[in-house]
Amino acid sequence: MKQVMRIVLTILMYAGVVIFIFPYLTGRITTGILYMIVGAATTVVCGLLRCYLTEGDCGPLSRIGRDW
């Protein structure tokens, strides 16, 4: 269940990034402030939920060879 929740929240987190950059891609930065606010909020909330709800689900950092 944690794995599925983690995948869903990751997808929603990246969807928030896409919503955030949508005004830049369409060239309507001044009218896209609402998109940027909603996208940033979605990314932050889903990212925090992903960290909070799937804590301990990540493997140890030593498996990828980094010690920081």
Of residues 47 and 64, the one with the higher pLDDT is 47
How deeply is 16 buried, as exposed, middle or buried, from its count of CB atoms within 10 A (0-12, 13-18, 19+)? buried
How deeply is 14 buried, as exposed, middle or buried, from its count of CB atoms within 10 A (0-12, 13-18, 19+)? middle
Which stretches within 1-68 are classed as H helix?
2-26, 33-53
In this model, does residue 64 exceed pLDDT 80? no
**38-61 pLDDT, tens digit each:** 999 999 999 988 888 887 655 555
